[in-house]
Amino acid sequence: MTSGSPVKDFKDLEVWKVARGLRHEMYKLAAKLQDLEKFGLASQIRRAAVSVTANIAEGFGRFGYQENAQFCRQARGSLYELRDHITTCLDEGHLTAEESARLEQLAHLVGRLLNGYLRFTLAMKREAA
């Protein structure tokens, strides 16, 4: 899960750390969209970005592996929502192709880590059964 150190808190999870970086980048993007016409998109971006890290954290805090897995799935849904917002920003000229590609690459990394954490969580559930 992390680079060799024990996981004692959600903040120790590599997936949460990388998703935190994505959230920061998405907040910077949202800050560029503050005029009234783009305010709704900026708000959606912020909510989805927060949802990714918050769901990872909330799932970690649950007692059961199944509950943790469900929150991971919700985080993944919010991640895909963010990817759509990145595409919207590209299509509407709020991002360059390079900026879009960089954010997509970061989102894909979060997705791979999240899928790995979900697989780990479900494997732990099977072992506990």
Q: How confident is the model over 29-85, as pLDDT tens digits?
A: 999 897 756 779 999 999 999 999 999 999 999 989 999 999 999 999 999 999 999
Domain count, the chain: 1
Answer whether residue 23 is part of any domain. yes
Query: What single letter denotes the amino acid at residue 59?
Result: G
The answer to whether the pTM exceeds 0.75 is yes
Answer whether residue 6 is part of any domain. no
Q: Give pLDDT tens digits for 78-122.
A: 999 999 999 999 999 999 999 999 999 999 999 999 999 999 999
Answer whether residue 48 is part of any domain. yes
CATH number (domain holding residue 46): 1.20.1440.60
Dist CA 65 CA 21 (whole Å): 25
Query: What single letter denotes the amino acid at residue 92?
Result: E
Residue 112: DSSP 8-state: H
